[in-house]
Amino acid sequence: MKTLFSYRRWIPLLIIGSISVSSLLTGCDDTSEEETEVRANFESYSPTSGSKGTMLTLKVEYSGLKIKDIQVWVNNVETDVINVTHSQINARVPAGAGSGPVRVVVGNFEHTYPTSFEFLPNYMVSNYAGSGEVGYMDVAALSTRFQNLYWLAYDAKEDVIYTLETDIEPQRMRRIRNGMIETVVDFTRQAVRMNNPRTIEFSVTGDTIFVENDNGNNPAENPYAVGILTRADDFKVVKPYITYPAAITEHVNYAGVHPVDGTLIYYCWPSKLYVWDNEAQKATLLADIQQVIGQNGSYGSVQFSPDGKTIYLILQQPYQGILSAEYDAASKSLTKGFSRFAGTGSWGSNDGQGVEAGMDQPSQGAFAQDGNLYTVERFNHIVRRITPSGAVSLFAGTPGAGYTNGEATEAKFNQPLGFTIDKNNTVFVAEFANHRIRMIKEE
């Protein structure tokens, strides 16, 4: 709908002799006193979404004004007005504008469009650690070598990334700090070894790291189902947290920490989820996932919504997808059982709403500041964004293995498995086959 505004400007005229009104208007100068009308007719603008540098076209019919009289804001951040004609205004969206209303001032007229602009950050992919060569070297991060990069964890207290390299001995947890990488613990050389650590997570306080161990049917030699590392020991000494037989299972595949009360919930083969009561030293069955998906789902990750009221299971094999349930922290139980949240359950690569989307081995995930859940997909070689309503879309990477930096949606990854997000909303991706950690950051 068009909105019409007008006002009258008095322009002094120097009248010499007897001339027509049209002559007066034609020959006016700064001393003229004839009244002239300025109009601004606001219509629409496009596009309604974009990233930094997007050129907005505002359809505005106006007269009697110049570019200096025109201002445009996106989400209360002023844009650069690039060009104006009598029918449109072109303005460029600035960095960091964010999503919000589009407001334009033309002379004395101000108008806010009913449709807000959706700001899409421009993300770039670059190398954070790893030379791409397979092996092991504790040197500068960009020169180091990795082997079987499997998992990432973020230490918010020190702003440090921890890695887990597993599936082949020696199995290590390493730390990247101040541009250097160092081995923190070799799990095979501890007093009580952990022969197959699968995942690591920080406690709510940030002073403990939980290490889940899939011990390969050998509880006598590997009694720790879940071990802990503490900041007091610089995370270098493995201590028991959950042992057999209290753990019930001999195969703890991965776990999640409740973001409010710190409760550890772990997933084990065959497809069962347990809540651990550390005071009582007791595991309680939270859910039997096989009853939901009709098959086993061995590996993946447990994620909680930031408020701790929803629990998500990211499953990678043989089931391909994400489940969700409503969780009550007070009773440490589900108020609504698990159901399929995103992914068809079978291999695929298409975006879509909820269970219509196709996934291929979604692995570690994390929530970002925008409230969306992100996860890597190992054999689609991409990073996906999942909204709270279950809409699945591409965030970074293009299908097919490779190694390319640059624009996020044009980058190439090779078997991404590890994933974390730091306090600055920078994304880190650990690649099993490229032997690198990549960084995805807003430009």
161-201: pLDDT as tens digits? 999 998 777 799 999 999 999 999 999 888 888 888 999 99
Phi-psi category of 369—alpha, beta or left, where left has phi over 0 and alpha has psi -120 to 50? Answer: alpha
- DSSP one-letter string for 116-184: PBEE---EEEEEEE--S-BS-B-SBGGG-BBSSEEEEEEETTTTEEEEEE-SSSSPEEEEEETTEEEEE
The reported pLDDT for the residue numbered 33 is 38
- How much of the chain exceeds pLDDT 90, in percent? 68
The reported pLDDT for the residue numbered 121 is 80
Question: 237 to each of 129, 194, 206, 210, 213, how far by Cα in Å?
Answer: 25, 12, 16, 12, 15
The per-residue pLDDT for range 35-92, each reduced to its tens digit, is: 345 567 888 899 998 888 889 999 888 776 677 888 999 999 999 999 888 788 999 9
The reported pLDDT for the residue numbered 309 is 97
The Cα–Cα gap between 125 and 198 comes to: 26
The Cα–Cα gap between 306 and 186 comes to: 32
The reported pLDDT for the residue numbered 31 is 37
CB atoms under 10 Å from CB of 136, counted, come to: 13
Select, from the ranges 58-72, 215-229, 254-268, the one with the highest average predicted confidence (pLDDT): 254-268
The Cα–Cα gap between 197 and 412 comes to: 28
The per-residue pLDDT for range 341-368, each reduced to its tens digit, is: 999 999 999 999 999 999 999 999 999 9
Confidence of residue 329 (pLDDT cuts 50, 70, 90): very high
Q: Which of 101-110, 257-266, 327-336, 345-354 has the lowest mean pLDDT?
A: 101-110
The reported pLDDT for the residue numbered 250 is 77
The reported pLDDT for the residue numbered 17 is 32
Asked if the model's pLDDT at residue 220 lies above 80, the reply is no
Confidence of residue 103 (pLDDT cuts 50, 70, 90): very high
The reported pLDDT for the residue numbered 20 is 33
Mean pLDDT, residues 229-235: 98
The reported pLDDT for the residue numbered 38 is 53
**Residue 244 is encoded by which pair of tokens?**
């057999």
Q: Which of 18-22, 249-253, 277-281, 378-382 has the lowest mean pLDDT?
A: 18-22
The reported pLDDT for the residue numbered 370 is 87
* Continuous segment of H or E residues that includes residue 293: helix 290-293
Q: What are 157's strand-pairing partners?
A: none
Asked if the model's pLDDT at residue 8 lies above 90, the reply is no
Provide the CB-side half-sphere exposure for 226 (13 A, CA). 30
- Interstrand relation of 49-50 and 118-119 (parallel, antiparallel or unpaired): parallel
Mean pLDDT, residues 109-131: 93
The reported pLDDT for the residue numbered 39 is 65
The Cα–Cα gap between 173 and 166 comes to: 9
Which of 221, 227, 223 shows the shortest CA–CA distance to 209?
227
Amino acid occupying residue 432: F
Mean pLDDT, residues 19-40: 41
The reported pLDDT for the residue numbered 37 is 52
268 versus 215: the higher-pLDDT residue is: 268
